[in-house]
Amino acid sequence: MKKKQLIANLFFAIILLFSIVFQSFHGYEHHEKQLSQKICYHKQSQKAELTHQHKGFDHCFVCEFTFGSYLLPDVFSYPVATTSHKTPYFFATKEAVLSFSGSLYSLRGPPESSI
């Protein structure tokens, strides 16, 4: 049973690590793609031309992925039960002191030399 639990924990840890590391390495892909594009200078013309990209990547699902809680409760509150009773400063009953005049050898600790 412990071996199965250990394998499951390792599996989920690797999945979590992969999702974090993949997002980091995916950023290098964007950087490489921007470096591979040619630098060009255009004279502004009146007609629209879509030949290649001049702006950064606006929408990338891999780069925008974040971990989060997607299940939100409808009402988020804690019920607090308050009791208002006064605590007296002095008690009406006296404290009973119990004393034992005999000795119980079964309740004593080990000898001092064995500590």
Show Cβ contacts of residue 62 under 8 Å, excluding neighbours closer than 6 positions: 22, 23, 26
Alpha helices (H) along the chain: 2-36
Which residues make Cβ contacts (< 8 Å) with residue 34, sequence separation at least 6?
Answer: 56
- Give dist(CA 10, CA 18) in Å, integer: 12
Res 9 pLDDT > 90 = yes
pTM over 0.75: no
**Per-residue pLDDT tens over the stretch 13-30:** 999 898 888 888 887 787
* pLDDT top residue among 8 and 61: 8
Domain regions of the chain by residue span: 1-39
Tokens encoding 34:
């921007």
For 40, residues 6+ apart whose C-beta sits below 8 A from its C-beta are 52
Pair of tokens at residue 51: 């030949």
| Higher-scoring residue by pLDDT: 100, 49 | 100
- What per-residue confidence (pLDDT) applies to 5? 94
pLDDT at 89: 73
Contact 27, 60 (CB under 8 A): no
pLDDT per position as a tens digit, 34-91: 777 766 666 666 665 555 655 555 677 777 777 777 777 677 777 788 878 777 777 6
